[in-house]
Amino acid sequence: TQLLEQSPQFLSIQEGENLTVYCNSSSVFSSLQWYRQEPGEGPVLLVTVVTGGEVKKLKRLTFQFGDARKDSSLHITAAQPGDTGLYLCAGAKSSGDKLTFGTGTRLAVRP
């Protein structure tokens, strides 16, 4: 049973478009992380959110943690080819707990 479902699974867009990726669960998480993984490499941490309703911005990326801490979203403004990769959310149910990774969203941004 996958605790964290991501949608969409695949996304192909034109450079300059906006997009939103969703990470949903029926479980409550104490913290949630977003990673990006490029081909042939390991995932790289983008952000950690810990408070319900929290919004964090990283340049053109905006991350939000749901009020109930069961879901999260990643919004990219004016996507660039360098944003191409696999986006993974990962949640921890309690402080110091192991991470459970989501199913992933594979993003391709065409020049």
- Which residues of this chain interact with another protein, rule CB under 8 A? 2, 30-31, 33, 40-45, 48, 50, 88, 92, 95-104
Q: Using the minimum distance from each CB to another protein, give the nearer residue, 14 or 95.
A: 95
Q: Using the minimum distance from each CB to another protein, give the nearer residue, 70 or 79.
A: 70
Residue 27 class from Cβ within 10 Å (0-12 exposed, 13-18 middle, 19+ buried)? exposed
Least distance (Å) between residue 18 CB and another protein: 26
Name every residue whose Cβ is closer than 8 Å to that of residue 19 and which is 6 or more positions away in sequence. Answer: 11, 13, 75, 76, 79, 107
Q: Using the minimum distance from each CB to another protein, give the nearer residue, 2 or 18.
A: 2
Asked if the peptide bond before residue 8 counts as cis, ω within 30 degrees of 0, the response is: yes
Least distance (Å) between residue 78 CB and another protein: 27
Q: How many CB atoms lie within 10 A of CB 38?
A: 12
Q: Using the minimum distance from each CB to another protein, give the nearer residue, 19 or 50.
A: 50
Least distance (Å) between residue 16 CB and another protein: 29
63/54 Cα distance (integer angstroms): 8
